């Protein structure tokens, strides 16, 4: 196999949660460009993503699921298998963020974020992992964060959940490497998405953030594409438990 061919996802099927917009859409489109068929799962229909995936000549399945609970997890995996005939790649991207001082943070804002960002993500890994273990191969990519490494400000449940994603990624890598499953994570830096709209609208905070990013700009969803394709491909077969920052140099500063 040539080096270039090892990055191809031709004949593979990928399930991406939260693929209707932002980072999830960017990752889904990158995987489709590399050859994968795509299933999208989330509470908001991914019509635009589906149109773009089909325009690339790939199949697309849109699965309605509220990932604030683990109830639909098994159904999402089964609908992916039914619609695309397999499951080779899982991208756990769906996520919530709630901003409030820690002194005033509510139980609801804690539970809502933790349920989506870590609880459903783990059980999605479990459901997909059972399929992948049975077939002896699979790639799981969790979307972590800079706050998998740092404390952050005014986002206690988000920080806790993304720190948890880093831990779960490592644990599953240790358990499942011998089963032919690669479990890794991408840690995006400050990206221009709905989740950062408040930060970008705050002129002082946005200036502070940009002043620390060596690349000098907010990231775009497409910036995650190359890393996602790499982790989903055979080129990353010996990568287990890695958490790769895609942050414009934020952590290096």
Please report the pLDDT score of residue 187 as a whole number: 98
| CB neighbour burial string for 230-248, b if at least 16 within 10 angstroms, e if fewer | bbbbebbeebbbbbbbbbb
Domain map (residue ranges) of the chain? 5-245
CA angle 152, 193, 74 (to 5 degrees): 90
| Homologous superfamily assigned to 5-245 | NAD(P)-binding Rossmann-like Domain (3.40.50.720)
190 among known catalytic residues: no
DSSP string, 195-251: GGHHHHH-HHHHHHHHHH-TT-S-B-GGGGHHHHHHHHSGGGTT--S-EEEESTTGG
Q: Each residue of 130-162: pLDDT tens digit? A: 999 999 999 999 999 999 999 999 999 999 999
Q: Which of 60, 122, 158, 176 is catalytic?
A: 158
Average pLDDT in the chain? 97
Please report the pLDDT score of residue 202 as a whole number: 87
Closest CA to 7 of 240, 244, 226, 243: 226
Query: Which range is least confidently modeled, 106-115, 130-139, 188-197, 215-224?
Result: 188-197
Please report the pLDDT score of residue 230 as a whole number: 98
Residue 195 has pLDDT above 80, yes or no: no
CB atoms within 10 A of CB 112: 16
Q: What percent of the chain has pLDDT over 90?
A: 94
Q: Within its chain, how far is the Cα of 170 from the centroid?
A: 15
Query: Residue range 173-188: average pLDDT?
Result: 98
From residue 40, alpha-carbon distances to 34, 48, 66 in Å are 16, 11, 12
Please report the pLDDT score of residue 176 as a whole number: 98
CA angle 174, 76, 136 (to 5 degrees): 40
Q: Each residue of 81-139: pLDDT tens digit? A: 999 999 999 999 999 999 999 999 999 999 999 999 999 999 999 999 999 999 999 99
- Residue pair 186/143 in contact (Cβ under 8 Å)? The answer is yes
**Which H or E element spans position 71?**
none
Please report the pLDDT score of residue 216 as a whole number: 95
């Amino acid at each position: 196999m040539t080096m270039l061919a090892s990055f191809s996802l031709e004949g593979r099927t990928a399930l991406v949660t939260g693929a209707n917009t932002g980072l999830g859409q960017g990752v889904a489109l990158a995987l489709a460009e590399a050859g994968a068929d795509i299933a999208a799962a989330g509470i908001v229909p991914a019509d635009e993503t589906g149109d773009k995936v089909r325009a690339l000549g790939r199949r697309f399945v849109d699965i309605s699921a509220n990932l604030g609970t683990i109830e639909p997890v098994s159904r999402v995996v089964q609908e992916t298998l039914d619609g695309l005939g397999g499951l080779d790649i899982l991208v756990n991207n769906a996520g919530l963020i709630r901003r409030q001082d820690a002194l005033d943070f509510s139980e609801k804002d804690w539970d809502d974020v933790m349920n989506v960002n870590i609880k459903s993500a783990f059980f999605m890994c479990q459901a997909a992992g059972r399929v992948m273990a049975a077939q002896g191969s699979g790639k799981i990519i969790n979307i972590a964060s800079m706050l998998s490494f740092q404390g952050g400000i005014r986002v206690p449940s988000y920080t806790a959940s993304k720190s948890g994603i880093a831990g779960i990624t490592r644990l599953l890598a240790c358990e499942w490497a011998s089963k032919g499953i690669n479990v890794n994570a991408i840690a995006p830096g400050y990206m221009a998405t709905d989740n950062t709209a408040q930060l970008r609208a705050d002129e002082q905070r946005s200036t502070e953030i940009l002043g620390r990013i060596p690349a000098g700009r907010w990231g775009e969803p497409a910036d995650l594409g190359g890393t996602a394709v790499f982790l989903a491909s055979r080129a990353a077969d010996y990568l287990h438990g890695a958490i790769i920052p895609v942050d414009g140099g934020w952590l290096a500063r």
